[in-house]
Amino acid sequence: MRQQIKIVFEEDKPRRLDKYLSGLRIQELYSRSFVEKLIEQDRILVNQIPVKKSYLLEAGDEVFINLPEPEPHELEPQDIPLDIVYEDNDLAVINKPAGMIVHPGFGNPKDTLVNAMLFHFKDNLSSGRAADRPGIVHRLDSGTSGLMIIAKNDMAQSKLNDMFAHREVKKTYLAVCCGVPDEAEGTIITNIGRSISNPRKMCVSNQGRQAITHYKVLHYFDFFALLAVDLETGRMHQIRVHFDHLGHPLLGDLLYNTRARVHSIVPPNMKRKVSELLINHLRRQALHAWRLEFVHPISGKELDIHTPPPEDMLYTLSWLDSNFAIDKPSLNLEAILKEELQ
């Protein structure tokens, strides 16, 4: 099915159409040359009218992008290392690294989690929800690390789908937010929908679907906080959108946060050091899918699976403890997580 994307241009200053669309870094518009090709083919319209790539967008302009049918391609098994935390005959739980895309899409035909799964599990995967997503039950953003459940047969897939639909899988994330929430524990309830100005982003919107996020502050720093976050629903970018909505976006999140925004909350003498952290060590949102609790869909066994944050988040937490400890460095992550598991 051909996909159409609609964008409403909301910037004050006019922008060239081709440069603006390329700068949005939408996955489907994976290169500037592809954007130019779509414009030449009249697949990109402004206010329903074909235009040239040099057209200057003005506030209120509506851009319609009619994507061509994706070319069929055969999924390629690839020998990419997988961190398999749990496995039996029906399912596996994988610790996905940050930076890995879950399944192939526009501009990303390979080097995804699915390509790695096809190599490691071969034919022992469910058919999935779509032809290019064997074994996939739920997803994590590319920049989010942590635990994902993989279905190894269609019966497990069907039962897991129902469990997620009925909120019978408890997912707990670890996150670092900018600023400190007013309440030590809380629940965020809003509707979340797609942004009309940038299709890569989601936003709080009355037209969206209900999203419920529970959080607890695990450790306070000056200007930052380590959180445990439980999702009652599973909307796209839910945690990132909700904490941006609270005014406490996730550290390192290039889509919902900015370096200037981080600089605004720290002392002037720490701005350069924070920039060095984000450039050299934390190159993605500080978000890790830490824990999954669910009843095995076939055996009925209760499973509680957890995995520590990867090196970039551990370094970030240690760095925050050294530079922004409220009194003196005191973060004991192992003890904090052990207490949460009890």
DSSP calls for 169-217: SEEEEEEEEES--SSSEEEEEEEEEE-SS-TT-EEE-TTSEEEEEEEEE
> Where along the chain do its domains lie?
4-66, 84-165, 170-341
C-alpha to C-alpha distance for 136 and 119, rounded to whole angstroms = 15
Query: Is 141 one of the annotated active-site residues of the chain?
Result: yes
Give residue 268's identity as a one-letter amino acid code: P
How does residue 132 score in pLDDT terms, banded at 50, 70 and 90? Answer: confident
pLDDT tens sequence across 331-340: 999 999 999 9
pLDDT at 128: 84
- Report strand pairing: 145-151 vs 15-16: unpaired
Q: What percent of the chain has pLDDT over 90?
A: 82
Contact, 297 vs 160, CB < 8 A?
A: yes
Q: Matching CATH topology for 84-165 and 170-341?
A: yes
pLDDT at 342: 86
Q: Select 170-341's CATH number: 3.40.47.10, 3.90.105.10, 3.90.226.10, 3.30.2350.10.
A: 3.30.2350.10
CATH topology classification for 84-165: Pseudouridine synthase (3.30.2350)
pLDDT tens sequence across 170-204: 999 999 999 999 999 999 999 999 998 888 899 99
Kindly state which CATH superfamily the domain 4-66 is placed in: RNA-binding S4 domain (3.10.290.10)
Q: Who wins on pLDDT, 68 or 285?
A: 285
* pTM, 2 dp: 0.87
C-alpha to C-alpha distance for 253 and 264, rounded to whole angstroms = 15
What angle, rounded to 10 degrees, do the helices at 271-280 and 311-324 form?
Answer: 170
Closest CA to 58 of 109, 7, 95, 10: 10
Active-site position among 90, 141, 253, 312: 141
C-alpha to C-alpha distance for 271 and 268, rounded to whole angstroms = 6
Contact, 294 vs 151, CB < 8 A?
A: no
For residue 255, what are its two tokens?
A: 């889509």
pLDDT tens sequence across 206-247: 889 999 999 999 999 999 999 999 999 999 999 999 999 999
pLDDT at 1: 43
Average pLDDT over residues 74-88: 95
Phi and psi (nearest 5°) for 8?
-105, 120
